[in-house]
Amino acid sequence: MQHEHRMEVFACTASKGFAAKIVEHLNRTLPEAESIHLGESEVTMFSDGEFQPSFVDSVRGATVFVVQSTIPPADNLMELLLTIDAAKRASADTVTAVIPYFGWARQDRKDKPRVSIGAKLVANLLGAAGADRVMTCDLHADQIQGFFDVPVDHLYASKVFLQTISSLKLRNLSIAAPDMGGAKRANAYARELSKSRDCPVVICHKTRERANVVSKIVAIGEVKDRDIVIVDDMIDTAGTLCKAADVLKGMGARSVRACATHGMLSGEAVDRIHASALEEVFITDTIPHPELEHDPKIKIVSIAEVFAKVMTKVYCYESVSTEFIF
């Protein structure tokens, strides 16, 4: 007896809004005969803080996608692991962990003695839970894909940010990297944008006193009278970003903006951005920030459609290479 091939999409607690957007786009991209809804699941809470996710809908034989950004607290990661485990034990055919923001990605190597490599540990945990595939966006380091023993679809926010930058119609556009590690990303953006205009690259070199504390930034490249867009994978405390923007403005930049995929925006990040030389900051919705919906300076761009297109291609056994820019 041949089983029906069907897609089921579920959301964990931290990404219900994002998953709802994905489902909305999926119903536009899936074959006409198919229509899906966000699957019903629930989390049972125990009095001591322990919790147990479960599915209300059957997932037997289904191609299951579980959406969850592993943002702090660690309960979000644990909920994703338990939900994947529940799906496998409920006889799902395959389970794809859709992780818009992959937490612990900054712990990708031993940068000092006697530290963990958190990104590798999380990859092992996802594999042990039963994930058959992982889909994520703008990993802090590309090599994290190699930590997994299952296929990884590494999406890039460039798909939406390139459109955003083009729509600004900046006359003297330059792309900037906030540090040396972001030079590759900045060059890739500049290469795409240079197809229609001249777009030089500016590199900011920073030195740190300690984690999250930048002591000095020096900008390398043509800055004076340029409209500069800083591109990065995340904004945490916004210390580096705001200091870079102030340095660039002090060197004669006409305007400074930023595009960053993951808006952690921890601590006083929002206040720092508002007080900085930045005119606009664009982030995606991989991390929920409903409080910023009408913020005058921080703008949220949805990347849900990019995920929906790749999920459709994975489900339909089609090549996903056309969905990647860099």
Question: Is residue 226 predicted with pLDDT exceeding 90?
Answer: yes
Note the pLDDT tens digit of each residue in 268-313: 999 999 999 999 999 999 999 999 999 999 999 999 999 999 999 9
> How many Å apart are CA 65 and CA 96, to the nearest integer?
5
Note the pLDDT tens digit of each residue in 143-196: 999 999 999 999 999 989 999 999 999 999 999 999 888 899 999 999 999 988
Helix (H) or strand (E) holding 28: helix 16-29
Residue 323: predicted pLDDT: 76
Helices (H), 169-324: 183-193, 239-250, 269-275, 304-315
Q: Which residues are catalytic?
A: 206
Helices (H), 90-201: 118-129, 158-168, 183-193
Note the pLDDT tens digit of each residue in 58-74: 999 999 999 999 999 99
